[in-house]
Structure 1
Amino acid sequence: MEILIIFSIMLILMALKVPVAFSMATSATVALLLKGVPLMLVPQRMFTALDSFPLLAIPLFIFVGQAMNTGGITDKIFNFARVYVRHIKGSLGHVNVIASIIFAGMSGSAVADTSGLGLVEIKAMNEDGFDPEFSAAITAASSTIGPIIPPSIPLVIYAVIAEQSVGRLFLGGVIPGLLMGLALMVYVYVISKKRGYKVEPRATFKERINATIAAIPSLLTPVLLLSGIVFGIVTPTEGAAIAAIYALFLGFIIHKELTLKDLYKMLLSTASSTATILIIISSASIITWVILSSDMPAIVAKTIFSVTNNKYLILFIVNIILLILGCFMEGTSIIMIMVPVLLPIMKMLNVDLVHFGVFLVLNVMIGLITPPVGMCLYIVSKIAGISFERTSKAIIPFIIALIVVLFLITYVPEFVTFLPNLIMDK
């Protein structure tokens, strides 16, 4: 009964365009009042949800992304990718994907990728003769790789809720992220050949050497960040702090493109983005509390297993549910609400929880580029100067490509578990 009340009120408030966090907090609070739970427990519960050391990595990852975008690092990443693949059919479309893969190892945020690299990528692609809707669509689609390849803000949130190793989750996202990039590049090649998009001349050896030397300091960022986390030298939060300091070093000392004024703006933007994520986490934690106290996970599991015991069919149903939710809900909310519900089912199916975390986050990322809510679609549409409808139409083939990868990693868990087992089980 409480769950029905929560979701009914939440959907009504969201339809009235009340912010997601306030919709969740209000609906859960009403349900608790009807149960006679003292209101004083609500803020206590919200605070407890944020009292987690790994969550401190979130503002640091966001700050690294801000520093990369502001400090001129995105240009160097784009140029590095450009000199190696610009001669292949699809040219800057491939550059777009590869640049996103590299940027993914620094930021962990799809929105940071879209708003940072997107400015460079869309402008260059339009100047090179690509259709603006195609440029916008590939930019949005490739940005979803950001939170899959480590570091990843959504994977940190999942790790806290599911009590899983952040290092294992980060390693688990590497191969799926590369598969996403490959799938997008295959489609870019096919559509570029069909439409006759031109290719740029092959870069000279000297151009490649110069671009590589210019990019090496930036390319060391993910190495510094991930090596320490994976090998247990530092925690994810400490690794994020090191990456943030290194990003400032690059911006102020190496590239000399950051100013104190830029730093002030970066800190403000980081604080704003962090506050948005944390208020959603704290608000969703109240709903999670109600869900767990109402025994909803057991009820859902019992209902599903009464229909079918087939593991593959259940995983298919779970993916479809998550994809549908991604069309209408913000990603952090989905993770906070659905993980406590689905975790018991995954355990009953003997699904590796690192595997579950990665394909859950991939579902959420696809939601970022799926109408009508798709945050990244709105950003790239604004950058490209085209309507949301044009971008939404152009993104469909890319969504299909990503869904193919989603089901591939869902049914072949070794794509996720191979690296964590190889490196961290020694």
Structure 2
Amino acid sequence: MSLIAISIAALILALIGVPLFVVLGGLALAAFFHSGIEPSAVSVEIYRLASAPTILTIPLFTFAGYLLAESNAPKRLFRFTNALLSWMPGGVAIVGLVLCAFFTAFTGASGVTIVALGGLIYPILMNRGHDDKFTMGFITTSGSLGLLFPPSLPIILYGIVAGVDIDQLFKAGIVPGMLLIIGLAIYSILKAPKENSEKGKFDLKEVLVGLKGAAFELFLVPAVLVGIYGGVVTVTEAAAFTAFYILMIECFVYRDLSFTKDVPKIVVDSMTMVGAILIILCCALGLTNFLVDEEIPNQLFGAFNHILTNKYAFLAFLNIFLLIVGSLMDIFSAIIVVVPLILPLAQEFDIHPIHLAIVFLTNLEIGYITPPVGINLFISSIRFKRPITELYRSALPFLFILLICLAIITYVPALSLIWVK
């Protein structure tokens, strides 16, 4: 059987719904066998991955994010940010952007954010005079906002797959992530109702009450960032601290969760997702070894060399390609499958690996709301019982704004590299 036939068979299996790790693992084993290489080359990757010190960050941060999502943390954080920012034009929408970014950064999953915060934000935006189209587009878009901020799970996974320093990636994502929030905040201000203005009065007492209520959760962000960037702890140690800290405050300080009833279920749910990611990652890394051995990336570069004559053309092509990938695949699978293919191509065009990472992740973040099959569109459709075509129309203005921000991030690499040594 030729490699083309093997690839076609793998594609058919994927299209009929065979689990991705089976497709990738089977493809890797078949490819190695066809080339006369021991299939044990695939299993070696499992050991290599297990011995990587940063691999522990994935289950720890995921567990912490699920604890936050299942607790009353969203309500406490919303009360504080609402008291702090709602006096501004479009203030409640800005509150929603900040809160969604915070949540997605810790959960690493837009679906969790839409489910956890969508029902909380929707009635408030409607009561403040925003129309239904804006509100649905806002919630759908905000669900994936925050994937560029530490300790985002996609950033960690990208660092492991691409062999890029995760601390540097955490720094690199801050300014581009802020740009996305600012772009959407400006649009929210412009769309703020002129009649029945949503601006509230700044109430210091309410701010202090909200701060007191959410103080333990708010402490976590500066503690993790200062710990990592101050050289006090490694990323892995920060992940362990985060998981333990959130477990303690949600179970024994706020008592939102029962340690004996709720936590076991959260462990199962969060580790099920982690297990799926790690199995896919192991199989994909085995396939990556084969692609490198067969010099497939170099062949791809040769095929596109006459079309992509400079790095700007390559970046434009990459954006289009990744938007399509982001709308068709979940972000974790996309990172595992696509990153090994584009890294050698990017090196040929002298694109900084950190800048490439931020462009890659931004594209996949936007891919969540890209029609026709962006995952956020379907999650919002199910969550709010709306036709998917209605979500397409609602998300388009937000998609347009994010694409403008993407162009800036892509062609102004200094935004990604400003704090990178």
Q: Give me the TM-score of the superposition, normalised by structure 1.
A: 0.90
Structure 1 residue 268 displacement after superposition? 1.2
Contact persistence 1:28–1:290 (CA under 8 A) = yes
- CA 1:237 to 1:2, structure 2 compared with 1: closer, same or farther past 3 Å? farther
Structure 1 residue 99 displacement after superposition? 1.0
**Aligned AA for 2:401?**
A
Q: How do residues 210-249 of structure 1 correspond to structure 2 at under 5 angstroms?
A: 210-249=209-248
Separation (CA, whole Å) in 2 of partners of 1:415 and 1:338: 24
Q: Indicate the RMSD between aligned Cα atoms, in angstroms.
A: 2.4
Separation (CA, whole Å) in 2 of partners of 1:403 and 1:8: 33
Q: How do residues 32-181 of structure 1 correspond to structure 2 at under 5 angstroms?
A: 32-181=32-181
Q: How do residues 13-412 of structure 1 correspond to structure 2 at under 5 angstroms?
A: 13-193=13-193, 198-260=197-259, 261-412=261-412
**Aligned AA for 2:418?**
F
Q: After superposing the two structures, state which structure 1 stretch, 308-317 or 235-244, moved more.
A: 308-317
**Aligned AA for 1:412?**
V
**Aligned AA for 2:210?**
A
Structure 1 residue 241 displacement after superposition? 0.7
Structure 1 residue 4 displacement after superposition? 4.1
- CA 1:30 to 1:130, structure 2 compared with 1: closer, same or farther past 3 Å? farther
SS in 1 for 2:343: helix
Structure 1 residue 197 displacement after superposition? 7.2
Structure 1 residue 262 displacement after superposition? 1.5
Q: How do residues 2-13 of structure 1 correspond to structure 2 at under 5 angstroms?
A: 4-5=4-5, 7-13=7-13
- CA 1:119 to 1:152, structure 2 compared with 1: closer, same or farther past 3 Å? same
Q: After superposing the two structures, state which structure 1 stretch, 310-319 or 378-387, moved more.
A: 378-387
Q: After superposing the two structures, state which structure 1 stretch, 344-353 or 410-419, moved more.
A: 344-353
What is the CA deviation profile of residues 336-358 of structure 1, one whole-angstrom value per residue up to 9, with x for unaligned ones? 22222222232233322111111
Separation (CA, whole Å) in 2 of partners of 1:320 and 1:3: 27
**Aligned AA for 2:198?**
V
Separation (CA, whole Å) in 2 of partners of 1:197 and 1:275: 49
Structure 1 residue 69 displacement after superposition? 1.6
What count of residue pairs does the alignment treat as equivalent?
A: 420
Task: Provide structure 1 residue ranges, at least 5 long, that are not aligned to the other structure.
Answer: 422-426
1:424 maps to none
Task: Provide structure 2 residue ranges, at least 5 long, that are not aligned to the other structure.
Answer: none
SS in 1 for 2:314: helix
Separation (CA, whole Å) in 1 of partners of 2:243 and 2:258: 16
Structure 1 residue 54 displacement after superposition? 0.9
Separation (CA, whole Å) in 2 of partners of 1:124 and 1:5: 54
Structure 1 residue 277 displacement after superposition? 1.5
Separation (CA, whole Å) in 1 of partners of 2:136 and 2:168: 33
Contact persistence 1:130–1:197 (CA under 8 A) = no
SS in 2 for 1:364: helix
Separation (CA, whole Å) in 2 of partners of 1:373 and 1:285: 27
Contact persistence 1:148–1:358 (CA under 8 A) = yes
Structure 1 residue 71 displacement after superposition? 2.4
What is the CA deviation profile of residues 102-143 of structure 1, one whole-angstrom value per residue up to 9, with x for unaligned ones? 335544443332332233223433454544453332123123
Runs of 4+ residues deviating >6 angstroms: none
SS in 2 for 1:420: coil
Structure 1 residue 318 displacement after superposition? 1.3
- CA 1:59 to 1:18, structure 2 compared with 1: closer, same or farther past 3 Å? same
SS in 1 for 2:377: helix
Contact persistence 1:63–1:270 (CA under 8 A) = yes
Q: After superposing the two structures, state which structure 1 stretch, 326-335 or 31-40, moved more.
A: 31-40
Q: Give me the TM-score of the superposition, normalised by structure 2.
A: 0.91
Contact persistence 1:172–1:354 (CA under 8 A) = yes
Separation (CA, whole Å) in 2 of partners of 1:157 and 1:384: 31
Contact persistence 2:106–2:153 (CA under 8 A) = no
**Aligned AA for 1:230?**
Y
What is the CA deviation profile of residues 68-124 of structure 1, one whole-angstrom value per residue up to 9, with x for unaligned ones? 122211111111221233233434322210212333554444333233223322343
Contact persistence 1:173–1:416 (CA under 8 A) = yes
SS in 1 for 2:419: helix
Sequence identity (%): 27
